[in-house]
């Protein structure tokens, strides 16, 4: 009788376990290709944390991350079909809608762009105002990327058009540092740790700095969403569980970063990210830390700020009515924050 009771109890437990498995939401697409432009940058640090700490795998995903020279190249991968999702700049969602392609951001990585526009005082020793950049070469991660977009905006505020300067793609690593130091470019728009590397070496004058929230609002006139995960609307519609799993992993990474110390981060990121100077990397982290989103939520007024910025110089937006609610959603983030209420 006892044996029968034990067997019956075991079967009941097994049945409950099977029901639990059957009831679990399995991602529709387990293998996901993510494109990113400059993965070593702090701009994309939450993505690296989610990857390195196994958060994507914990959500049942097999994520493959492809690194490109800049955000515009990553966007091209999505448009071309070689990537399912992009870890990139929020403003691309607006630019693409203007071209008739609906892509949507579903989890925020950065609440400030972290981009710094600076002048090379070696090639421009008499620089005084943005107007002095007319006819000069400006290094950006890649033409059309967020660094290019931010520079266009700063130029527009000074009465200059994008065609008044020459943009040079220099990437987001040692190549960017080399191009600046060798005088190949007169100014640079880039991110940390590249910016801190150049700043420490000298011959460097900051024109606009969006690593801090207050300074970002001064530059853009409002909250400016930055790095995020975005994809085609069709992908979200066809793969809602997969989209939720990606969001869960990213929100978990964001919460880990809120509690992590600089030494914790150094232990997790690849050695190549440090650019040969661990102390400098840690110093750069302290400069950009507040720019990282604490929970993945898009600010309510962020989309309007981004649209107003793009309208200053993007001719593709002329006469176009942009449906801002269609460029982002906080639905997946809300669920992820319930799941990971504690870091």
pTM: 0.88
Alpha-carbon distance 7 to 157, whole Å?
A: 76
Please name which of 211, 259, 333 lies closest in space to residue 53, comparing C-alpha atoms.
259
pLDDT of res. 10:
35
Over residues 213-261, the pLDDT tens digits come to 999 999 999 999 999 999 999 999 999 999 999 999 999 999 999 999 9
pLDDT of res. 341:
84
pLDDT of res. 21:
36
pLDDT of res. 9:
39
- Give every residue of the chain whose pLDDT is below 50, as ranges: 1-23
Q: How many CB atoms within 10 Å of residue 41?
A: 25
Alpha-carbon distance 200 to 217, whole Å?
A: 25
CB neighbour list of residue 109: distance below 8 Å, 6 or more residues apart: 43, 44, 45, 46, 47, 87, 226, 227, 228, 229, 250, 254, 292, 293, 296
Domains located in the chain, CATH noted: 31-112+224-339 (3.40.190.10), 116-220 (3.40.190.10)
Angle between helix 174-181 and 194-201 (nearest 10): 30
pLDDT of res. 202:
86
Over residues 182-212, the pLDDT tens digits come to 999 999 999 999 999 999 888 899 999 999 9
Q: How many residues does the chain have?
A: 343
- The residue assigned the tokens 């999702």 is 85
Question: Would strands 116-120 and 85-89 be described as parallel, antiparallel, or unpaired?
Answer: unpaired
50, 292 in Cβ contact below 8 A? no
What are phi and psi for residue 129, nearest 5 degrees? -135, 170
């Amino acid at each position: 009788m006892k044996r029968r009771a034990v067997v019956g109890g075991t079967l009941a437990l097994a049945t409950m376990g099977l029901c639990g498995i059957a009831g679990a939401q399995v991602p529709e697409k387990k293998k996901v290709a993510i494109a990113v432009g400059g993965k070593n940058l702090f701009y994309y640090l939450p993505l690296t944390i989610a990857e390195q700490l196994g958060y994507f795998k914990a959500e049942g995903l097999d994520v493959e991350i492809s690194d490109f020279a800049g955000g515009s190249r990553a966007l091209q991968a999505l448009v071309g079909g070689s990537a399912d999702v992009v870890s990139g700049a929020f403003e691309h969602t607006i630019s693409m809608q203007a071209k008739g392609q609906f892509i949507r951001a579903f989890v925020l990585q950065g609440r400030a762009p972290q981009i710094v526009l600076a002048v090379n005082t070696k090639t421009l020793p008499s620089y005084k105002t943005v107007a002095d950049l007319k006819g000069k070469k400006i290094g950006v991660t890649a033409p059309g990327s967020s660094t290019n977009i931010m520079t266009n905006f700063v130029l527009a505020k000074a009465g200059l058009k994008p065609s008044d300067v020459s943009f040079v793609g220099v990437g987001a690593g040692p190549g960017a540092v080399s191009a600046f130091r060798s005088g190949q470019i007169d100014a640079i728009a880039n991110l940390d740790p590249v910016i801190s590397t150049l700043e420490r070496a000298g011959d460097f004058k900051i024109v606009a700095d969006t690593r801090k929230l207050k300074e970002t609002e001064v530059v853009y006139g409002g909250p400016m969403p930055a790095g995020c995960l975005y994809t085609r609307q069709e992908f979200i519609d066809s793969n809602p569980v997969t989209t939720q799993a990606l969001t869960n992993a990213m929100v978990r990474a964001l919460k880990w970063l809120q509690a992590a110390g600089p030494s914790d981060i150094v232990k997790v990121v690849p050695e190549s990210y440090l650019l040969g100077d661990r102390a400098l990397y840690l110093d750069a982290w302290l400069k950009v830390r507040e720019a990282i989103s604490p929970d993945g939520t898009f600010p309510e007024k962020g989309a309007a700020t981004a649209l107003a910025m793009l309208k200053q110089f993007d001719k593709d937006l002329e006469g176009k009515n942009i449906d801002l609610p269609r460029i982002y959603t906080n639905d997946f983030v809300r669920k992820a924050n319930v799941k990971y209420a504690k870091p």
